[in-house]
Structure 1
């Protein structure tokens, strides 16, 4: 498949031009663009503004924390680039170039503030209007849904016993966001033929043509596996790196650690938060076991990083969602399943395992990451979708 993808060309023989935009969440878009370039495409990741998380894009059109004017100017420059340059526009995080406000609800307008009125009306007027425009121009359109861009409070409560919604409720999901997410999904379904979901639970709410796609957020050639240390090197070190403590189930991890400490187990739990990616990766490398999330039902970009480093990974795997995953990938999953009710027992079992067994699991995790999350392999699948359109 990789070799076939190298042959992807437009009519006329020049490389296919692919624009990944408008965001680079967890490094997914930039890494996918880089892999597509390796396979012969002219791919770029262009984002509206710089981020502070250590996930650089090929080009950022506005500085970090820009003014509204700077951000909107960058937004329209991005649309012009999509119109003028790209053959394929691959949107990320369920947003197009023209999403100045994810949920432009007129009901929230402060009618005493003229600027707020103008801003809200502007958001409503342009929201996702580039989709029909780009489709009409003959651009090949794709979108990657990554998590909270599609995940909905009410549907999660209907479908799942364990979820971010059941744990956090409306404290996490803004009022009215479910309706706006459904509108966005419907708009993309009308105009965008290629849909990918990086988390399998999203396929419960996405269009029928959507397909699961493994994360491709990490250049695996730059990562050296460092499996769990032998017992003589000291107690096990667990690491947990929540981007949002509530959504990741951090309180359950902390409670489990406290309980096991009271039982007399010797280990260390390190919380890794708010660090640039390179620094965080160095901290993960120092740990033995990585705990990802306990609510979402799949592992995220952190999970890929952990497995690539040769660390056994603990995360909640929702069994009903695994039907959306390639059977071969499913059969090889090395992830240790845990949820809020079982995390203490899972950590206890891990502490009791021989280090040689954990070392072997770490090596298997690294092999799994290189088989299923190699950006070039993932990019080859994506390119096939571009060509099949």
Structure 2
């Protein structure tokens, strides 16, 4: 048995991204629970999520960036007891494959074959040798594969994006990386139910933990019956979110004389976008992916109703009670016009109630404190076996 570790001294690290703000939300929740936690991101996001440490400096030469990377790997391996990797990556250099013509194929080949392939996942492997508890959380296209989606999903954005978004190379690379984590990670989590179709059988669904219930408090409404409805859509990628179908529905309704206004939120920091979200009466999240995103959790936390395509065939991966509580208004590219029309007219008075149900749903299922405690308990179960804490 290894040397006994005092629970109060356990140090937790989240790295290497800030995708969706989920790693930072978990780290903040762990701190609120009295744990020693730190979020580390290799680079910044235009959305403005706050990490404890940003490794790369904007505009810095790649040689200096890589030097900083290795310093950070050494630091985390020395200090951490629990390492939560996210977005299917570690801090180590990672091979990259793309058919996108805007990337220099020769430079990618050099980076992959003369550098990344020799050190990929080295921090993950050393962490296990050193007795660290290691987990990974998958968050979407880090695991999602174009060939599987095209074969199994009649509605999916794989048919909307260009040919470089998914490719045989990128699909194979994702499967290879998943296999590595399957070998070395103590726990594998995903925030998207559909990913459990392509992850190891022992992978676990876990809800988004990106939204602070204190920072995203419910916004009081005065009722929708006597005012113009404000609908918001905030695509991070228009083809992925089905934006063209949403705009087509908006414009058709406008031409037919229905009274509402809509706002497209793009390229803004999360805090600036929040000011717009607070004025919204309804969010259209996405129509192709099959599950709601972190944005929907933010709007539900504010008490706003959400329209989103929910793929029934994947929802069995969620807890049954969570499925029953879910207040999402379902819509597809074929039905979005009718759904919007319905909630601008016949069911307009239902929007407040759906929004309140959304807030209750987030409090019950997306509370970062509860999710962080669950993941900590998982990690602690491993440490108890190894350290005798």
Structure 1 residues 16-48: Cα deviation after superposition (integer angstroms, max 9, x where no partner): 211100111121111101111222321100111
SS at match of 1:218: coil
Q: In structure 2, how many angstroms separate the alpha carbons of the residues matched to 1:104 and 1:223?
A: 37
Tell whether the 8 Å contact from 1:240 to 1:272 is kept in structure 2 after alignment: yes
Give yes or no for the alignment of 1:63 onto 2:57. Answer: yes
Tell whether the 8 Å contact from 1:227 to 1:363 is kept in structure 2 after alignment: no
Residues 73 and 353 of structure 1, relative CA distance in 2, 3 Å threshold:
farther
Q: In structure 2, how many angstroms separate the alpha carbons of the residues matched to 1:12 and 1:119?
A: 41
Q: How far apart are residue 15 of structure 1 and its match?
A: 3.1
Structure 1 residues 2-24: Cα deviation after superposition (integer angstroms, max 9, x where no partner): xxxxxxxx733433211100111
Matches within 5 A, 1:32-43: 32-43=26-37
Residues 240 and 110 of structure 1, relative CA distance in 2, 3 Å threshold:
closer
SS at match of 2:141: coil
> Which one is further off, 55-64 or 291-300?
55-64
Residue 102 of structure 1 corresponds to 96
Q: 1:308 aligns with which of 297, 301, 304?
A: 301
Give yes or no for the alignment of 1:264 onto 2:257. Answer: yes
Residue 244 of structure 1 corresponds to 237
Tell whether the 8 Å contact from 2:224 to 2:351 is kept in structure 1 after alignment: no
Q: In structure 2, how many angstroms separate the alpha carbons of the residues matched to 1:220 and 1:162?
A: 33
Q: In structure 1, how many angstroms separate the alpha carbons of the residues matched to 2:347 and 2:334?
A: 24
* C-alpha RMSD of the superposition: 2.1
Residue 66 of structure 2 corresponds to 72
Give yes or no for the alignment of 1:327 onto 2:320. Answer: yes
Q: How far apart are residue 287 of structure 1 and its match?
A: 1.1
Q: How many residues align structurally?
A: 376
Residue 156 of structure 2 corresponds to 163
Tell whether the 8 Å contact from 2:98 to 2:170 is kept in structure 1 after alignment: no
Residues 353 and 73 of structure 1, relative CA distance in 2, 3 Å threshold:
farther
Q: How far apart are residue 171 of structure 1 and its match?
A: 4.3
Residues 202 and 277 of structure 1, relative CA distance in 2, 3 Å threshold:
same
Give yes or no for the alignment of 1:183 onto 2:176. Answer: yes
Q: In structure 1, how many angstroms separate the alpha carbons of the residues matched to 2:279 and 2:346?
A: 19
Residue 45 of structure 1 corresponds to 39
Q: How far apart are residue 266 of structure 1 and its match?
A: 1.4
Residue 201 of structure 1 corresponds to 194
Residues 207 and 360 of structure 1, relative CA distance in 2, 3 Å threshold:
same
Give yes or no for the alignment of 1:343 onto 2:336. Answer: yes
Structure 1 residues 217-263: Cα deviation after superposition (integer angstroms, max 9, x where no partner): 01111222126553465211110000000000000101111222232
Residue 5 of structure 1 corresponds to none
Q: How far apart are residue 64 of structure 1 and its match?
A: 3.1
Q: In structure 1, how many angstroms separate the alpha carbons of the residues matched to 2:11 and 2:26?
A: 13
User: So what's the TM-score if we normalise by structure 1?
Assistant: 0.91
Residues 66 and 145 of structure 1, relative CA distance in 2, 3 Å threshold:
farther
Q: In structure 2, how many angstroms separate the alpha carbons of the residues matched to 1:104 and 1:338?
A: 32
